[in-house]
Structure formats: C-alpha cells, structure tokens
Amino acid sequence: MAALSAYNLLYCFVGVLIGTLIGVLPGLGPTATLAILLPITYQLQADAALIMLAGIYYGAQYGGSTTSILINLPGEASSVVTALDGHKMARQGRAGTALAISAIGSFFAGTIATVFIALLSPPLAALAQKFGAPEYFALMVLGLVAAVVLANGSILKSIAVIFLGLFLGLVGTDVSSDAQRFTFGYLQLADGIDFTIIAMGVFGISEVILALEKPEVRSLVTANLNRILPSRDDLRESWPAMLRGTGIGSILGILPGGGAILASFASYAIEKRVAKDPGKFGHGAIAGVAGPESANNAGAQMSFIPLLTLGIPANSVMALMLGLMTVKGIVPGPKVIEEQSLLFWTIVASMWIGNLMLLVINLPLVGLWARLVLVPYRRLFPAILLVCCVGVFSVNLQTFDVLLMAGFALVGYTLRKLDCEPAPLLLGFILAPLLEENLRRSLLLSGGDPAILIHSKISIALFAATMMLVFSLMLPTLRAKREAAFAE
C-alpha cells in the first residue's frame, strides 16, 4: 500500500510533527505555515507533498489544544473553547489529564472522520463521468460564490477580494491569442504570477507581521504533567462528549468557512446543554475539553471531502492545497478520484496513520511541548522571513519574485487591516484560468450559444445551488432592512 511506503510515512511524520509544533506556537497557524513551506513541496512527489501538508493541518489542531490548556492562549482559533475548561483543569492540577483527553478525543474523531471520507467520496466520484466543460464551469461558479462564505464580515468586501483574485489569475499570456494580459510590460509576468509568491506573501509574511503587533503575555501551568493517563471515571465522563463532538464536526466540517471552529463552539454549547450539572462548565468540566477537541479535529478532516471530490476548498488551508494540486498538474474536481485513484486513497489512508502518529507524539512529549510554548514569537520572525525569501527565490531564481512577494505581503496586511478575509483572493486566483478555459470550451462546443451552460441537469442543479447560496448570504441583509422599515 502506497501510504505505508517509507517515503510517504516519512513525510506524514514530518507533517504532523511540524503541525503540532505550529499549533503549540501561538500566532503562526497552519495557513501561514503551509504557505511558507510550499516551495519545499515542489521537489516532492504529489502524494508525499499533499500528505505532508494535510498532516500539518490536522496536526495543528492537536497542538493548538496544548497552549489552550497550559497557558490559556489558543494556538488555533478552533481551540478557543478548549481553553475555557482545559486551563481551569490545569490550574486544578489536572493538566496531564486534560492533554490526554484532548489527544484521545482528537484521535477518535480523526479515525471516524477518515472512515466517513472513505465512505462518502466514492458516490460523489460516480458523477465524474457526467462532468463536461459546462458542468465544470457551473461547479467553479459555485466555488467562487462559496468563497464568500469563507470570508468574515462584509459581503461586498468579499466579492471585491474575489474579483481581485480573478484579475491576478488572468495575468500572463493568453493561450488562444498569444497576447500578454495585465503584465504592464514586465516580461517576468509573461507566464503569470506564481502561486507560491501570492501564498507566501498574503498568508505567510503578512500573518507574521500581524502576530508581531500583539503583545505576548504567557503564564505556563505545568503541574502534574507526569500524570497523563486519564482515570476510568474521566473516560466514562468523556466518551459521550467525544461521540457527540465527532458527529457535530463530521457534519459541519463539510461546510465552507470555519467548519472546525463552528464545530468546536457548537459542541461546547451542546455539552453544556445536555450536562447534568451545567455549572461545572467554565470551571474545569472534562466534557468541555473532550467534546470541542473531538469536534474540531473531525471538522478539520471532513473539510477534505469537498476539496478531493468537488475541487471546492472549505477553508483557506484547503485553498492552499488546491493550489498545490494545480501546481502538481492535478486538475481539481470530481475526476480526481477516477483518474488519480491511487493518490486519493493514499491520502485518505495517510490521514489515519497521521492521527496515530499524533497520538504517539503528543502524549509522551507533553513536557517538550510545554517548554516550547514559551518561545518568544519575535525570535521566530527573522527565521520565517529568511525561509520565505529563499523559498520564493528558489522557484525561478529571480529577485523580481522576492520583491513581488513583499508587495503581496503588503496587500495581505492591508486586507487584514480592512477586515477583508484574504482566502477568497487565493481561490479566485486559482480558479480564474480554469473558469476561463471551461467557458471557452463550452462556447466552442455550442458554436457560441451560452444556453449550453444550463443544458444538463447537473449544470442546472449547480447553478440552483449557487442561487440558493447567494440568497442565504443576502437573507440577513434583507431581514435587517425589513426590520428597519417596520421600525420607522
């Protein structure tokens, strides 16, 4: 089995180890880390590269709980809820138990979610033979609209960011006319903007600069870290929360946007509602750790389903992985399972292997992670900046690329300051060439008749889903206007 080859096992281990480290170090996050490490993956085989990046993503979910519990500072947004009861448990001398329950719940959820991915993906792959250029165009339109859901805040800002991404994706030489578009006379842009430059600038350097603006106040709790294994009573109280959290994460993780984040909050709310004594929550309830940690890990794993089966990323990390797939020559969409079946099942199998590695890594090395959480972030910045510059320069051996990355770092920083989520920009950039190509193919097949775009039932269904999504996005605005009108 390809997933058990020494080559893939090595990069799976490297991925989960880096992911745990990133989760433990607050401020960096998996998105920035994946963006920074993209140049390294160019030298790897496609399966090893995707396995390593996937390991970084769900590994960060594990690591984020460590800082939440030990220093009350979530390393990941999805671990915010864990801090409510996890840190209280640590202050009560139960830090080891909290960390163990977090790791066990995450492993259980990751295992179940991997099974769901294996069961749900083949039926979706059956649609692959029915997809032509019009269907792919409709699917990508749905993906662009779904990108609005990826973003927080104003819908208009999200749309503007998507159009910026589409514009950047069209930079370069037109395949049909051989004319240069939007290059402004720079020959370095004739082949388009490299995906790595945008990813490392917008997500890597800009995120680091933003993290440096925040003050670092850390108080480490290390009491009873030697007592790791939970008691029978702890497990008896935790397993129902793990089951519910896994179910919630498996459902919400498929949705675009912060599925893992939403899942952890929803799990905490449900655990508090079904608890015999809700007053324990916020004061060291073990179910308040087991449920959300299971939910966020299941949500993180399930976000791979729309990416691997439909080519639609559920979050910014999946958008980066989508970009890597295109760089490796893998056309995202339903045909991935049909045409790259070995790659698909290798990735799915590696998810369970990676979760097992994380369980082994996290429990014995709790003391090491505890010491790492106190590393000042300002000391990491020079190394990260150096890696970004060397990585971008190594792609084309051009200083122009490094300067361009600096420009995109400024763009990413500005977007954040304007409360604009940058993830839709990356998705628009990736989908722009594919959108244009499939639109041209469709019109060539029909002799210029746009009716071909709604000729099949699949296209109609996808456009209908797009309209429903647009309506759901507009509904809160319409409701607010209606209430304002009645108030007057």
Residue 227 banded pLDDT, cuts 50, 70, 90: low
Residue 482 banded pLDDT, cuts 50, 70, 90: very low
Residue 243 banded pLDDT, cuts 50, 70, 90: very high
* Interacting residues of 479 by C-beta distance below 8 A, sequence separation 6+: none
Give the C-alpha separation, 171 to 181, whole Å: 6
pLDDT over threshold 60, residue 418:
yes
Here the tokens at position 235 are: 């497990």
Residue 82 banded pLDDT, cuts 50, 70, 90: confident
Mean pLDDT on 48-53: 86
Burial class (CB in 10 A: 0-12, 13-18, 19+), 386: exposed
Percent of the chain scored above 70 by pLDDT?
Answer: 82
- Higher local confidence (pLDDT), 218 or 312: 312
Residues forming a β-bridge with 180: 173
HSE, side-chain direction, 13 A CA sphere, residue 6: 0
The most confident of 249-258, 323-332, 448-457, by mean pLDDT: 448-457
Mean pLDDT, all residues of the chain: 78
Residue 225 banded pLDDT, cuts 50, 70, 90: low
The pLDDT tens digits of the residues spanning 170-211 come to: 888 877 777 888 888 788 888 888 877 887 788 778 877 877
Give the C-alpha separation, 295 to 249, whole Å: 4
Mean pLDDT on 279-295: 85
Which whole-number Å values give the CA distances from 200 to 39, 47, 270, 392, in the listed order? Answer: 9, 22, 38, 8
The pLDDT assigned to 29 comes to 66
Give the C-alpha separation, 139 to 83, whole Å: 39
The pLDDT tens digits of the residues spanning 248-257 come to: 888 877 765 5
pLDDT over threshold 80, residue 81:
no
Please give the full DSSP string across 34-72, using - where no structure is assigned.
Answer: HHHHHHHHTTS-HHHHHHHHHHHHHHHHHHHHHHHHHHS
Low-confidence winner among 49-53, 152-156, 228-232 (lowest mean pLDDT): 152-156
Residue 483 banded pLDDT, cuts 50, 70, 90: very low
Answer yes or no: are the C-beta atoms of 350 and 12 closer than 8 Å: yes
Give the C-alpha separation, 82 to 3, whole Å: 32
pLDDT over threshold 70, residue 275:
yes
The pLDDT tens digits of the residues spanning 375-403 come to: 666 676 777 787 778 777 876 778 888 89
Answer yes or no: are the C-beta atoms of 325 and 50 closer than 8 Å: yes
- Higher local confidence (pLDDT), 209 or 353: 353
Give the C-alpha separation, 137 to 203, whole Å: 27
The pLDDT assigned to 396 comes to 73
